[in-house]
Structure 1
Amino acid sequence: MAKSKKNGETIENVESINFQDPKYYLNRELSWLEFNNRVLHEALDPRTPLLERLKFMAIFSSNLDEFFMVRVSGLKQQVEAKVSKLAFNGRTPQEQLEDISKSLRPQVIKQHQQFEKVLLPQLISHGIHLLSYIDLDSEQRTYLDKYFKEQIFPVITPLAVDPSHPFPYISNLSLNLAVLVKNPETEEEFFARVKVPKVLPRFLPLPPELRVQDRGEPSAWTGIPLEQAIAHNLESLFPGMNIQEYHSFRITRDADLGLEEDEADDLLLAIEQELRKRRVGGNPVRLEIQSNTPPGVRSRLLQDLDLSENDVYEVDGLLGLRDMMYFMSLPLEQYKDRPWQSVVPPRLQRLREPNAVNPQTLEVEEGRDIFTVIREKDVLVHHPYQSFTASVVKFITYAAYDPDVLAIKVTLYRTSGDSPIVNALIAAAENGKQVSVLVELKARFDEENNIYWARRLESVGVHVVYGLVGLKTHSKLVMVVRREKEHIKRYVHIGTGNYNPKTARLYTDFGLFSCREELGADLTDIFNYLTGYSRQKEYRQLLVAPVNMRDRFLSLINREIENAKNGGSGRIVAKMNALVDLQIISTLYIASRAGVKIDLIIRGICCLRPGIKDISDNINVISIVGRFLEHSRIFYFHNNGKEEIFIGSADWMPRNLDRRVEAITPILDADIAKDLQEVLGIMLADNRHAWELQSDGSYIQRRPGENCPEASSQQMLMAMAAKL
């Protein structure tokens, strides 16, 4: 067997290692469950403010809903289709389902025990009384009974189940009551289902005069869950019958779009049809029930829903904790994170307004515009630390009203329901600009919103395209074409996050503004690729998927390998949401063996297994889960001191590299490159919200060492932004 030397030790040559061996990789689904477990930890951590703990409870549950709707449903479909192909960690679809069940059940038990035994008492101690109906006094019951008759009863439709009434369709993510009633005359028992209506609030507050008293004053909030108000008024729904018992249950259905694009003559209409199917949902994949549900009711539900015992998740207490987000709306700021107001980047301060024209003189008001700032020097913005509205929204709005702007081109993957960006694009079209918008209709769970905006844009003459068959357009790009004297100049924004002002307050992302000629030319080629028949194969600066991105990243990693082999100091730091791609991971293993020092900041799924002797012992992986959702992608390569750093929209996943249109831009401004390196350094030093991935796939939370202060990267970045 061939051997070589590394740091004085004898190791096997790369050629002798089979990097296809499953032992070198972590399972994608289990890695995601580990991520969601880190989300749950924020709800368990007493350092997290009380209402924020409820928020993380809600996020954990909401994440699980989507996981079952998409990932678990996909595995179940593979099992039904008798797919025997192994995941690259060597597990069949059925084995993965078993692994998921084994890993997830303890997390669900932990979540509900924490909620019932820790958080509910703490809420009460802070004046938030989420009560059970049996805890109410007579006045409170009278109020809620009246509320039921006036507000709830008219909305509810009880559905009997008997030979003349087949088991009703249970909609996705709906909360329901399984009710057993008895005919007092015949002693015959019947099964019925009552849906808890989503059009009503999940939690019913009592008026101040009926709230629990705290030291002689009304508590901050007192109320009960909606389903309990329904359950204790079932006699109104089944008059003349005796209510025997009732039990809450909730189901999750397959909700992934099954779209054959090649056969869809009109993609927009085809997706609208698929969305109608999703509203009612596909096959059931999970049944959540209360643990005290009797065997007869349980077996009836399983039979009628065509589920097995493996699909059942028992819960002690309330079902559907995703609704805990309700309590974040309470005006109790002392139990939330300290409010953060994004700052305006220094170079974008004191700009005149986008449509600042004096209507009497038609003269432009004093002050610089955003194009002047970008011409001077590239601008980097970091959200939510720096304002999305004062940068990205203002950039597009300037373009909409600037008389010298000829055209605006944008990719929209996800945007908000009241999007100021779309409104600016509409204004631009009305102002005579040539506006082209790539709306990605296949953005999962945002399809309906995107269809709405696509129709709005088309109605005012915007040229709307829906992407390429077989590819999602995930890139975050804006290009503004402007006439300046006798020349045409292109201004670009290349980002890591969606053009959504709401999520920009919650997600960490970067955006680069530039008017560099080569970047403008590359964006022109990308938009031609998206809207026409261009099949561009080369780009001047950008890494573009699925064209050249995979090869460029592999080349950058291999360059570090060669530098390390030749006595240099190979170094890679990469931050992203997920690392799944087998080829990228195996190349990182080769880099590690060559002596390249690699730090990875992976928020969610990571299939790379760090710490394997002579394979990945030069690779460290951390995940940061905190107040903001880490969403930015940054890639740093040492390059023997000629450092290169990139930002963009893509993770290292097969879907990003092969099945999506993505764009990664190099950072060509030295000052901006240093700023990004500083951000990476701050994150690598985090000992408050950072977790270290172990070789067995588990994570250990970092803690401050002795005489070492707590360092939260997000808090530090907020403090730095506030000083700008």
Structure 2
Amino acid sequence: MKREYKGPVQTAASLNGDRFGTGEVQSARATQDRIDIPEFEPNLMPEGDISPDRFLDRELSWLAFNARVLELAEDPDLFLLERVNFLSIFASNLDEFFMVRVAGLKRRIAAGLALPSPAGLSPIEVLEQISDAAHELQARHAHVFASQIRPALAYEHIHLVHWDELDDGAKDQLDKMFAEKMFPILTPLAVDPAHPFPYISGLSLNLAVVVRNPVSDKELFARLKVPDLLPRLVSVDGPRAGTVPGRVARFIPLEEVIAQHLDQLFPGMEVLEHHTFRVTRNEDLEVEEDDAENLLQALEKELLRRRFGPPVRLEVATDINPNVLALLVRELDVEDAEVYRLPAPLDLRGLSVIGQIDRSDLRYPKHLAHTSRDLNESETSKAANVFAAMRRRDILLHHPYDSFSTSVQAFLEQAASDPKVHAIKQTLYRTSGDSPIVDALVDAAEAGKQVLALVEIKARFDEQANISWARKLEQAGVHVVYGIVGLKTHCKLSLVVRQEQDGLRRYCHIGTGNYHPRTARYYEDLGLLTADNQVGEDLSRLFNQLSGYAPKSTFERLLVAPRSVRSGLIERIDAEIANKRAGRPAQVRFKVNSIVDEAIIDSLYRASQAGVEVGIIVRGICSLRPGVPGLSENITVRSMLGRFLEHSRVFTFANGGDPVVYIGSADMMHRNLDRRVEALVQLSNKEDIAEIDNLLDRYLDEGTSSWHLGNDGEWTRHHLDAEGNPLSDVQSWLLANRSRQRSTLRR
């Protein structure tokens, strides 16, 4: 049903005032003052009488995104082990949502700062709607596993078994495993007048155990933590179980093995019953950087405190004793609405153990990334000279279709070993534990080069790993800095300075994804390798701003948050409106992970009202409401989920027939535009611009499988045509046609 929006006008100023969320406005503005960045004021609203409900709630939109992940697990046409992985991803996503977003809402309510969101909902209303949706989604998640995935696995001879289904030989094997690997690290904790209720760490799986003292006939309660250092699902048949079709592979939940040996943990007591439960806590970090003499040390202390955040969710098995549940609710101080009753096994993140089984017939065909055509023109097996290739032309990379190791990684490794390279400057937001990127920086420093690494140690849930790498880099002589106080450094930048015959030349990489070799295999991202003088000058200025004092830096080919990404994009959108009114080609297309920012959304609404065609491709959160008569009928919103995680950020403008394209690290969210250092680079090569335009054409094509967002805020999956045949999958098409796509554009 079409909806005509009418109602009181909500001013841009009022929206801007609560952009950061209640309780965050002052700190964000203080940050802007410290780095001399003027506070942004949206310049215009959509025309006409516009209702405040033109925005969708961001938290509920995120839950809708995770529901799309669940739809993939429900899809019988997908490979079975990929469906298992999507179940695991859903569970992991929801954990983080509760730890950060739900925890933030509860903090706001507790502080009495319960101002409504841009969608017009109070934090209490949002929390209630989250509870309803999350209960439904978790029940659906458990049902998919029990009714679809588990039987399908059994058909393939992969079984999740109970103890009483095992033969004596398997039980003997697990008895030995328990004695050698589990018993020594288990710690039963009694609860009685002498032993207060123990602290339950976040995301830990636990056994609530009821025992009876045969002497006093008194029933007692104890808690036993299931160790998270051991595999969540124990393979009964060895490490290669399940890798051969037809051969039986059995897995048993770790807590079931422990439960069968409780008599060894409570000798002299009678074990009456046991129940599994799991607590999710507020695990977001709060570090006051101005008060921290050493950010590294302050963050390490905060990581220790993270485990003690207040609970936001209690998951229990459906067969739990009501008295035990009442005890947990009372001691953990959770509300009834925060209790999630689910069939065992809890914590289906552990399904990743099964999802990793090496059964090629049950997963996507293996993909071998190819070296970019622009780096592989010699037809020899010798590694390409990345610097020579960059001097020839800009190189647009599209991972994972283009190899990360033979492009970005090779660029930094060659820079580290090249005696003509004098300096390397690098941002690191997330990277892997065995990162060749870090190794290359260490090698460069040890070779006497000037190396600067800007390590973002506040990258959520990667803080501990980043602290470790920061210390390793410092020990090797790398100049390690942590960016600007109050801002996360999220931009993906590399700058190499090389001595050449005609003087110093700068070589640059700007990307949409992290310098993380492992995730580069399954994250879809774009990157630009360029020796363009102007880009080099821009990056030099930006690195100086990040490592020193250069608040007044200006840029030519870059838009840099928090100063110019929002305002720069809105200026481009306004120019498209002017082009449309003048009869020139006008179009706006964004590809992002999330779009929440009200000023950006309102500018897109104004473009739609002016008749500009707007296409949005968003993986996750979308607060924009498309297809509303009089407001957004020219806006189309699509979402892509699949084998690879869609992660690139792209911004294109028709610009009167001379297209403008930016790629970079920024999503359209308040944190990215106001509280992070982000960088977008404008592409200059006509072939690269055409390639991006063709790519977005395919993403938005009606014949491409995707989810469509309606003006009622509901997402609908479109993956079959009228005859029931599968629509084109853009990722599969790129796997098959990436090289052909580039060749066509070069003709």
TM-score bracket, normalised by the shorter chain, equals over 0.9
2:339 aligned with 1:339: no
- Name the residue aligned to 1:5: none
Q: Secondary structure at the match of 2:172?
A: helix
For the residues of structure 2 that align with 1:218 and 1:24, how far apart are their CA atoms? 54
Residue 335 of structure 2 is aligned to residue 308 of structure 1? yes
The secondary structure found in structure 2 opposite 1:389 is coil
Output the amino acid matched with 2:733. M
Question: Are 1:713 and 2:727 matched, yes or no?
Answer: no
- 2:366 partner letter: P
In 2, Cα distance between equivalents of 1:648 and 1:128: 43
Hey, what's the Cα distance between the residues in 2 that align with 1:303 and 1:709?
Answer: 51
Indicate whether 1:62 and 2:96 are aligned. no
* Cα distance in 1, alignment partners of residues 240 and 647 from structure 2: 44
How far is the alpha carbon of 1:709 from its aligned partner? Answer: 5.7
Q: CA deviation at 1:501?
A: 0.3
Query: Where does residue 357 of structure 1 map in the other structure?
Result: none
Contact in 1 for aligned 2:703/2:728 (Cα 8 Å) = yes
Question: Larger deviation: 676-685 or 218-227?
Answer: 218-227
Residue 221 of structure 2 is aligned to residue 205 of structure 1 = no
Task: State the 4+ residue runs in structure 1 displaced beyond 4 angstroms.
Answer: 13-16, 208-212, 350-353, 365-368, 686-689
CA change 1:51–1:564 in 2 (3 A) is: same
CA shift digits 1:442-466 (9 cap, x unpaired): 1111111111111111111111110
Q: Indicate if the aligned counterparts of 1:351 and 1:367 stay in contact, CA closer than 8 A.
A: no
Find the residue that maps to 2:407 and give its secondary structure.
helix
- Give the Cα separation in 2 of the matches to 1:205 and 1:659: 45
Partner residue in 2 for 1:37: 67
Shift of 1:437: 0.9
Q: Does structure 1 residue 229 correspond to structure 2 residue 260?
A: no
Please give the alpha-carbon distance, in whole angstroms, between the structure 2 residues aligned to 1:123 and 1:715: 25
Alignment partners' CA distance in 2, 1:481 and 1:592: 44
State whether structure 2 residue 691 is matched by structure 1 residue 675: yes
TM value normalised by structure 1: 0.93
Q: Summarize the alignment of residues 360-399 of structure 1 with structure 2, pairs less than 5 Å apart.
A: 369-399=385-415
Deviation digits for residues 249-294 of structure 1, max 9, x if unmatched?
001111111111111111111111111222x231111100011212
SS in 2 for 1:331: coil
Contact 1:581 1:654 in 2 (8 A): yes
Are 2:266 and 1:238 equivalent residues in the alignment? yes
Deviates more, 1:249-258 or 1:343-352: 343-352
- Offset at 1:220? 3.6
Give 1:200 shift.
1.4
- Corresponding residue number in structure 1 for 2:137: 107
Contact kept? 1:290, 1:314, Cα under 8 Å = yes
Aligned pair partner of 2:304 in 272, 276, 279: 276
CA contact (8 A) 2:705 2:727 kept: no
Query: Do residues 498 (structure 1) and 528 (structure 2) align?
Result: no
State which of 574, 585, 588 in structure 1 corresponds to 2:601.
Answer: 585
**Helix, strand or coil at the partner of 1:410:** strand
Q: Which amino acid aligns with 2:324?
A: V
Equivalent-residue separation in structure 2 for 1:149 and 1:218 (angstroms): 31
Looking at structure 2, the residues matched to 36 and 367 of structure 1 have their Cα atoms a distance apart, in angstroms, of 41
Q: Tell me the amino acid that sits aligned with residue 390 of structure 2.
A: I
Structure 1 residue matching 2:190: 3-state secondary structure: strand
TM (normalized to structure 2)?
Answer: 0.90
Say whether the 8 Å CA contact 2:56–2:623 is kept in structure 1: yes
1:193 partnered with 2:223: yes
- Map residues 80-479 of structure 1 onto 2, 5 A cutoff: 80-207=110-237, 219-278=247-306, 280-349=307-376, 369-479=385-495
Q: Decide which moves more: 326-335 or 701-710.
A: 701-710
How far off is 1:351 after superposition? 7.2
Report SS of the residue matched to 1:251. Answer: strand
The residue that corresponds to 2:20 in the other structure is none
Q: Displacement of 1:590 after TM fit?
A: 0.8
In 2, the alpha carbon distance for the partners of 1:644 and 1:350 equals 28
Partner SS for 1:607: coil
Name the amino acid aligned to 2:123.
P
Distance (whole Å) between structure 2 residues aligned to residue 130 and residue 367 of structure 1: 46
Shift in alpha-carbon separation, 1:427–1:16, aligned structure 2, 3 A: closer
CA contact (8 A) 1:492 1:515 kept: yes
Which structure is higher in RCO with an 8 Å CA cutoff and minimum separation 6? 2
Match of 1:544 in 2: 560
Distance 2:153 2:704 in 1: 25
Are 2:315 and 2:339, in contact at CA under 8 Å, matched by a contact in 1?
Answer: yes
8 A contact 1:686–1:712 mirrored in 2: no
Q: Kindly provide the amino acid, as one letter, of the partner of residue 144 in structure 2.
A: Q
- For residue 570 of structure 2, the aligned residue among 554, 563, 566 is 554
Aligned partner (choices 48, 51, 56) of residue 17 of structure 1:
48
Unaligned runs of 5+ in 2: 1-43
Other structure's SS at 2:396 match: strand
User: Counterpart amino acid of 2:225?
Assistant: K
What is the distance in 1 between the residues matched to 2:374 and 2:640? Answer: 29
Q: 2: CA distance between counterparts of 1:272 and 1:369?
A: 41
Cα deviation for residue 371 of structure 1 reads 1.0
Distance 1:549 1:16, change over 3 A: closer
Q: Which amino acid aligns with 1:290?
A: A
Give me the whole-angstrom Cα distance separating, in 2, the residues matched to 1:631 and 1:210: 33
In structure 2, what is the Cα distance between the partners aligned to 1:144 and 1:709?
45
Query: C-alpha displacement at 1:712, in angstroms?
Result: 0.2
Distance 1:90 1:467 in 2: 35
Give the direction of change, closer, same or farther, for the CA distance of 1:713–1:367 in structure 2 (3 Å limit): closer
**Which residue in 2 is equivalent to 1:7?**
none
2:708 matched to which residue of 1?
692
The answer on 1:613 being equivalent to 2:641 is: no
Once residues 670 and 210 of structure 1 are traced to their aligned partners in structure 2, the CA distance between those partners, rounded to angstroms, is: 50
The question of whether the paired residues in 1 share the 8 Å contact of 2:542 and 2:553 is answered with no
Q: CA deviation at 1:90?
A: 0.9
Does the CA-based 8 Å contact 1:352-1:367 persist in structure 2? no
Contact conserved, 2:719 with 2:726, CA < 8 A, in 1?
Answer: no
Q: Which moved more, 1:689-698 or 1:550-559?
A: 689-698
Within 5 Å, give how 1:522-533 maps onto structure 2. 522-533=538-549
> 1:510 is matched with which residue: 505, 526, 531?
526
Equivalent of 1:658 in 653, 668, 674: 674
Shift of 1:580: 0.4
* CA offsets 1:66-105 (integer angstroms, 9 cap, x no match): 0011000010111111112111011111111101011121
**Per-residue deviation at 1:366?**
8.6
CA distance in structure 2 between the aligned counterparts of 1:157 and 1:367, rounded to whole angstroms? 54
Structure 1 distance, partners of 2:387, 2:179, is 60
For 1:688 and 1:552, how far apart are their aligned partners in 2? 31
- Contact 1:174 1:196 (C-alpha < 8 Å) held by counterparts: yes
Separation (CA, whole Å) in 2 of partners of 1:632 and 1:704: 26
Could you tell me how far apart the structure 2 residues matched to 1:220 and 1:722 are?
Answer: 41
CA distance in 1 between counterparts of 2:620 and 2:102 reads 17
Structure 1: which 5+ residue stretches go unaligned?
1-12, 354-364
How far has the Cα of 1:347 moved from its partner?
2.0
What residue identity is the alignment partner of 1:42?
A: L
Distance in 1, Cα, partners of 2:349 & 2:363: 18
* Contact 1:343–1:721 (Cα < 8 Å) also in 2: no
* Cα distance in 2, alignment partners of residues 303 and 56 from structure 1: 34
